[in-house]
Structure 1
Amino acid sequence: MERTFLDMPDSQGYFGEYGGQLIPPQLKAVMDDINTAYDQVRQTAAFQDELAELYAHYVGRPSPIFYAKRLSQRQGGARIVLKREDLNHTGAHKINHCLGEALLAKHMGKTKVLAETGAGQHGVALASACALVGIDCEIHMGEIDIAKEHPNVVKMKILGCKLVPVTRGTRTLKDAVDSAFEEYLKDPVNFIYAIGSVVGPHPFPKMVRDFQSIVGREARAQCLTQHGRLPDMVVACVGGGSNAMGIFTEFLPDEAVQLVGVEPAGKGLDTPDHAATMARGTKGAIHGFACYTLQDAQGEPLPVYSIASGLDYPGVGPQHCYLKDIGRVNYESITDDECLDAFMTLSRTEGIIPALESAHAVAYAMKVAKTMSPEQTILVNLSGRGDKDADFVSQKLGL
C-alpha cells in the first residue's frame, strides 16, 4: 500500500489539512490518553483475538457478497454486487466499531459510554456492545429521528441504555452530537464518547476507520475468490462516512478500482434541503476537527436535511476530505426520490429491504450501471437493513 495512505493520520491526527484536535487543552489530554490506550491495546493478541471471536460468533462475520442478478438485469450494463453488512447482528456496519469502542472503554476502566445516533443503528449497536461487556450506555437522539426510527428506539430501551431526546435546534443528528458531547464534558475522565463515524477529534477518525476496515478486507478477498477479479467500482453512502471508509480503505492502492461516495441531495442541491457536504460545503471545522462543512458566512453549521436520518450531518470525515482533494474518491449525490425508488426496487427485485442510507448507494449504482458494460462489476456496500425505515417509507408512499 502506498505510504500516503499507510501513514495517515499523522501524529497530530491530520489527513493532509483535515482532522486534528480543535478542542480545549484539558480535553486534548483526555483524547491523547484514549489514543495512547488504543495504540497500545490494539497491538495485543488478547484484544485482537477477543475482537475477532466476537466478529465471528457475535456479529456473524464475514458478511457475504451477493450478486444482485435480477437488479443487474433490470438496469442493464454492469453487474451489481452487494456487500451484505445488513446481515450483521444489530442490522448494520455500526457494530464493527461499537464492539471495538466498548472493549476499549472496558480496558480503560471507564464507567459510562456516551454517544449520539441519527438513524439509531449506531445507538442499537453500541447499546448491544455495552450490554455484552457490562458497561453503562447513554444515547442522545434528535426528537425528529426518534419519531422516524421508532423500532430502533424501542430496541435501545430494551437493551438497557439511557435514551436522551434532543429537542433543540433541528432536533436531528448534529444537535444530538452537541448534546452528547456536552454530557461527556461533565466527566471525561470516567466517561468515554464513542463517536459513531469517522468524525470528531483525533483519534476517533482513525479508530473508527480501523475497526470498519474489516469490511473492505473481506470484500476484496471475496471478489477475488468468487469472481476472480477486483470490482471496477466500489460505491458507499456518505454522511460522516464510516461505512464508506470501511470498504474504501482496502481498495485505496488499487488505482484501477473507482471509489464513489454518495451523499444525500435531499430535495435537490438547488434547495437548502440537502446534506451534500462535499458538493456544496467549504473548508471549516465542526465538533473538534477540520473538514468540509455546510456553513454560513460566520462559520456556523447550516441546518441540513436528508430522508435518511444517518446522513443528515453538516460535516464529513477528514480522510474523506483528503481523498476528495487528491481525486482518489469521487463524491456524487442522490435525491430523496431516487433513494426511495432504489429502496423499493431492491426490495422487489431481490427481496432485500435496504436502509434508506444504503439505498443512496444502491440508487447511484442503478444509475451508473447503465453506462457500463456487462463485463464490469459495481460493488455496493449495503451498510444496513431497512427494518427501521419500513414504517416511515410505508407512510411516505401510502403503502
Structure 2
Amino acid sequence: MGEPRTRGRFGEYGGRYAPESLVEACREVDEAFRDAWADPGFRGALARLLAVHAGRPTPLTPADRLSEALGVRLCLKREDLTHTGSHKINNVLGQALLATRMGRRRLIAETGAGQHGVATATAAALLGLEATVFMGERDIERQALNVFRMRMLGAEVVPVTAGSRTLKDATSEAMRHWVGATGDSHYCIGSVVGPDPYPWMVREFQRIIGDEARAQCAAELRTGVPDYVVACVGGGSNAAGTFAGFADTRALLVGVEAEGGAGASRGRLGVMHGCRSLFLQDDDGQITQAHSIAAGLDYPGVGPEHAHLRDLGRARYVTVSDEEAAAAAVRLARTEGIVPALESAHALAWVIRAAGDGELPAGSTVLMTLSGRGDKDVSTLKELL
C-alpha cells in the first residue's frame, strides 16, 4: 500500500474528478502534503500531538472471554480509547496541522456518525481555527450527543436537508461549499474518498493504526503476525490505516461493510465526490441510497484503494446486517466490558459469525480494529434492545 500512481490512481480507481474551481485547490493540497510529509519537523509535531493530545499509542487488548467462547484468539486495537473516542482524530490532527502550514484559518468537514465532526471541531479549537461541519439532518437526529459536542467545541454545524439527509449528501454539500472558500479554508475529508490526494493522504495519516498494531502483535502473538486482520468499512479510513501495517505480510485482510451500504461488495464502477471507485447504482447509473444502523457506514461507495485491493484479491470484503451488528455490540459489552461503536460492531459481528460457521479455523489469531466507542449509539441501541 504505497503511493498511488500518476494522477492519483490505484489501478483503475481514484483520480481527481473535481470541478474546475477545485482542481487548483486539490493541487495545492497535494503539493503541501508531499512537502509536509517529507519534513521531519512536521511529522515530529504531528507525533507529539498524537501522543500528548490524542493519547497514542492505543493499546492492543486481548478479548480473553470472547476468544474462549469463539475458539479463536481475538485482539482488539483500541481506537475507541483515543481522545474524542475514535480513529478520526489521527487524520484530523494531520490535516489541521497541514491547514495551518498552508495558511488556512478554517476547516470544512462532513460527518455521518459525528465522530469526524467532533474530531475536526476538537482540532480546530486546539489550533485556533474555525470549523464548519456539514451533517445530514437524519444523522443530526440520531447522533444528537455528537452534535452537542461539536457545538460546545465552537464548530458551526450545518444541517443538510437534501437527498437521503445522510453522509453522502453531507459530503456533497461540504464540497460545494469549499468551491467558494478555497482561499481561506481547507476541506478536511474524513475518509479515504474524494479527489486525489485525499484517499492517499488520509490513509497515510491513519496508517499509524496498522504500524502500531503490527509492533504490538509481534510482542503479543506467538506467530508475530495475526492470521486475520479485520476492520469495518464505510468509506474505509480505519480499515485502510490498519491494512497498511499488514499488506506485506501473510495476514488475510477482511473489510466488513454494512449490508445496506456495501460499495466494495456490490458496487459498480462510477464517479462520485471527486474519485472513480465502486458505488451502489441503479440500472441507469444513478447512485442509490445506502442504509445502515451505523451512521458512519451509511455511504453508497468505498474508497478507491479498497476497490483496488478487492480487485487484486489482497483484501476480501463481506457484509453484516443491522441485527448482527447490534447483537455483536451487546456481546462485547457483556463479555469484555467494552461498548463499541456500531460501526466497529460490524467487524466484530463477522468475526463471531465466521468463528461459528468454521470459516475462521479454530485457534486462528485475529486482529480487529475497534474504531470507536459506543456512547453515541446508546439511544439507537435502546430502541432495539
Specify the TM-score bucket, using the shorter chain as the normaliser.
over 0.9
- Deviation string, structure 1 residues 309-328 (Cα, Å, up to 9, x no partner): 00011111000000000100
Out of 292, 317, 325, the residue aligned to residue 306 of structure 1 is: 292
1:4-153 equivalence runs, <5 A: 5-6=1-2, 8-75=3-70, 77-153=71-147
Return the match for 1:241 from 218, 226, 236: 236
Mapped partners of 1:300, 1:185: distance in 2:
23
Instruction: Identify unmatched segments of 5+ residues in structure 1.
Output: 266-273
Partner of 1:333: 319
User: Counterpart of 2:278 in structure 1: which amino acid?
Assistant: Y
In 1, Cα distance between equivalents of 2:112 and 2:17: 23
Contact 1:304 1:314 in 2 (8 A): yes
**Shift of residue 373, structure 1, vs aligned partner:** 4.2
Deviates more, 1:157-166 or 1:36-45: 36-45
State the AA in 2 paired with 1:248. F
| Residue of 306, 318, 323 corresponding to 2:309 | 323
TM-score by length of 2: 0.97
SS at structure 2 position matched to 1:251: coil
Q: CA RMSD in A?
A: 1.0
Report the alpha carbon displacement of residue 24 of structure 1 after superposing the two structures with TM.
2.5
Residue in structure 1 matching 2:365, options 370, 377, 380: 377
SS in 1 for 2:204: helix
**Contact 1:293/1:301 (<8 A) preserved:** yes
SS for the counterpart of 2:51 is helix
Work out whether residues 369 and 378 of structure 1, in 8 Å CA contact, stay in contact via their aligned partners in 2: no
Aligned twin of 1:281: 267
Percent identity between matched residues is 49
Distance in 2, Cα, partners of 1:280 & 1:48: 38
Matched, 1:160 2:148: no
Question: What is the alpha-carbon distance in structure 1 between the residues aligned to residue 20 and residue 278 of structure 2?
Answer: 24
Q: Letter of the aligned partner of 2:151 in structure 1?
A: K
**What is the distance in 1 between the residues matched to 2:19 and 2:187?**
16
Amino acid at match of 1:53: R
- Report if the CA contact (8 A) 1:79-1:369 is conserved: no
Partner of 1:292: 278
Q: Which residue of 1 aligns with 2:380?
A: 392
SS of the residue 1:59 aligns to = coil
Give, in angstroms, the shift of residue 374 of structure 1: 4.5
Shift of 1:277: 1.2
Aligned length: 382
Amino acid at match of 1:379: L
- Aligned partners of 1:129, 1:182: CA distance in 2, in Å? 22
Write the letter of the residue equivalent to 1:237. C
1-structure distance, mates of 2:283, 2:187: 30
Per-residue deviation, 1:168: 1.4
CA distance in 2, matches of 1:198, 1:279: 17
Q: Aligned partners of 1:24, 1:277: CA distance in 2, in Å?
A: 24
